[in-house]
């Protein structure tokens, strides 16, 4: 007998949202489709308030931090054994300019390309286990509490 793979999403009359994944939801975790599905589900559950999203299927882990004074930053870590040549990062911020920090390099200003929900930029040439840090002086669009959020 075959196993059934499914995903069901539901919003109730009071606005509560729930997602149920079928048998063994961890199967196919490394596929492009499953990754996109899980990103979309997380964004839907959060009512489109996920502060950061990466398009490409690269091992780029992201951690977002919002401080009490509403400044925020994101650390992008290449958790793979190969260089990430290019990755598109979508950010839900009102700012159009920020700063990028890289080990062994001077801080540099980065400009976001405008999008309907914020802006995007391309990060390039991140070595294995290397990282980029992005900093902005305003809070992400939408609701985000002070603290850390681990995104993948």
Asked whether the predicted pLDDT for residue 125 surpasses 80, the reply is: yes
109 DSSP assignment: E
- Residue 138 has a pLDDT of 65
CA nearest 125: which of 142, 147, 103? 103
Report the predicted TM-score, pTM, of the whole model to 2 decimal places.
Answer: 0.78
CATH code of the domain occupying 51-151: 2.60.40
Q: Is 113 helix (H, G, I), strand (E, B) or coil?
A: strand
Task: In whole angstroms, give the CA distance from residue 127 to residue 58.
Answer: 12
Asked whether the predicted pLDDT for residue 143 surpasses 60, the reply is: no
pLDDT one-digit tens code per residue, 71-106: 788 999 999 999 999 999 998 887 788 899 998 899
- Residue 2 has a pLDDT of 57
CA nearest 142: which of 121, 114, 117, 119? 117
pLDDT one-digit tens code per residue, 4-58: 567 889 999 999 999 988 767 677 777 788 888 888 888 899 888 888 899 888 9
- Residue 129 has a pLDDT of 96
Q: In sequence order, what DSSP letters do the residues of 8-71 get, joined into one string?
A: EEEE-TTS-EEEEE-S-TTTTTTSHHHHHHHHHHHHHHTTS--SEEE-S-S-EEEEEEE-TTS-
- Residue 37 phi, psi dihedral angles, 5° rounding: -60, -45
The residue ranges of every structural domain in the chain are 1-45, 51-151
Q: What angle do CA 148, 145, 140 make, to 5 degrees?
A: 85
């Amino acid at each position: 007998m075959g196993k059934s793979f499914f995903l069901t999403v539901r919003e109730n009359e009071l606005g509560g949202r729930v997602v149920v994944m079928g048998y063994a939801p961890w199967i196919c975790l490394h596929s492009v489709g499953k990754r996109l599905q899980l990103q979309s589900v997380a964004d839907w559950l959060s009512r489109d308030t996920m502060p950061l999203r990466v398009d490409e299927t690269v091992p780029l882990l992201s951690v977002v931090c919002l401080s009490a004074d509403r400044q925020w930053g994101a650390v992008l870590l290449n958790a793979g054994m190969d260089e990430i040549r290019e990755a598109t990062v979508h950010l839900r911020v009102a700012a159009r300019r920020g700063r990028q920090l890289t080990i062994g390099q001077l801080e540099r200003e980065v400009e976001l390309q405008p999008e309907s929900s914020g802006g995007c930029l391309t990060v390039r040439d991140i070595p294995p286990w290397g990282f980029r840090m992005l900093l902005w002086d305003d809070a992400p669009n939408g609701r985000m509490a002070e603290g850390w959020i681990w995104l993948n």
